[in-house]
Amino acid sequence: MHTLGLLVLALQAQDGAAPVTSGSRVLIDIITKATVINQAVLAILVAISIASWAIILSKWLTYRKVQSQTSQFLDAFRKSSKFSEVQAVATTLSASPLVGVFQAGYAELNAQFRLGKEQPANPSGPAPRPTIKSLTAVDRALLRAATVEINKLEKRVPFLATVASVAPFIGLFGTVVGITIAFQRIGTTGSTNLAVVGPSISEALIATAAGLFAAIPAVLAYNHFSTRMKTFAAEMDDFSLEFLNIAERNFT
């Protein structure tokens, strides 16, 4: 009984290890023996899948850094008593989109302050308090900067939507080609034997699987990044309103 048990375990181990090696060899064999069209389809799908994964990893790291530096910038902004102090901190947190929005508003304020200094002042009186001429101009500067920052954040993200939309159709094209070749072989040989049509059907299924493999991660990543960009856009809107409130209280 002990010997029989060892024999059964050995057979189970062999049966469990064989499919992995056999399956990988079969997959490689199918790809190498595929038609030129199906090989081209698979090459395209592999290329766009690699590109989409590179974008996914790059954007994930970028958005992680953006979130971290945005929190640091907001803390510094709300603890500072002067915009000049915030400007000194902003240079070290350039990854945050709020920095670009702040610098645009700060530049507009300084431009309006310089215009106010050019007007003649009363030499006998106290130094004039800095004031801004147009709060609407500051608002426009903040909006322009927010648009620029959003465009930076969503750079290359639309490619993921393209992959998600196109990859299944490219895989479907390979499937149609494989099925067409299978029917052609049936008509040529007059036989429906699985050995005749099996390779073409295998090529078709591999193309479909490759298309889904490229499309599914791209869909998930695109939806996730779109949600993150909406969050960043909302943070920039809130920051712009906070900046305008401070400017209105202190410089009007």
**pTM for this entry:** 0.78
Q: What is the pLDDT of residue 17?
A: 42
Angle, to 10 degrees, between the axis of helix 36-79 and the axis of helix 83-90? 150
Residue 131 lies in a domain: yes
Q: Distance between CA 170 and CA 43 in Å, rounded?
A: 11
User: Rg (Cα) of the chain, in Å, rounded?
Assistant: 31
Q: Distance between CA 101 and CA 247 in Å, rounded?
A: 14
Question: Is residue 94 pLDDT above 60, yes or no?
Answer: yes
Q: What is the pLDDT of residue 119?
A: 56
Residue 101 tokens read as 């929005």
Residues 192-210: what's their mean pLDDT?
75
Residue 63 lies in a domain: yes
List, for residues 78-87, the tens digit of each pLDDT value: 998 888 889 9
* Domain limits for position 242: 36-156+215-251
**Which range scores top for mean pLDDT: 31-40, 82-91, 189-198, 227-236?**
227-236
List, for residues 122-167, the tens digit of each pLDDT value: 555 555 667 788 889 999 999 999 999 999 999 999 999 999 999 9
Q: How does 61-77 read in b/e, with b if 16+ C-beta sit within 10 Å?
A: eebeebbebbeebbebb
Residue 52 near residue 159 (C-beta atoms within 8 A): yes
The structure tokens 């240079």 sit at 91
Residue 203 lies in a domain: no
Number of independent structural domains in the chain: 1
Residue 54 lies in a domain: yes
Q: To the nearest whole number, what is the mean pLDDT of the chain?
A: 82
- Which helix (H) or strand (E) is 122 found in, with range? none
Residue 192 tokens read as 């429906």
Residues 45-70: what's their mean pLDDT?
95
Q: Which residue has the higher pLDDT, 135 or 2?
A: 135
Residue 163 near residue 188 (C-beta atoms within 8 A): no
Residue 149 lies in a domain: yes
Q: Which residue has the higher pLDDT, 32 or 243?
A: 243
Residue 201 lies in a domain: no
Q: What is the pLDDT of residue 221?
A: 96
Residue 66 lies in a domain: yes
Residue 15 lies in a domain: no
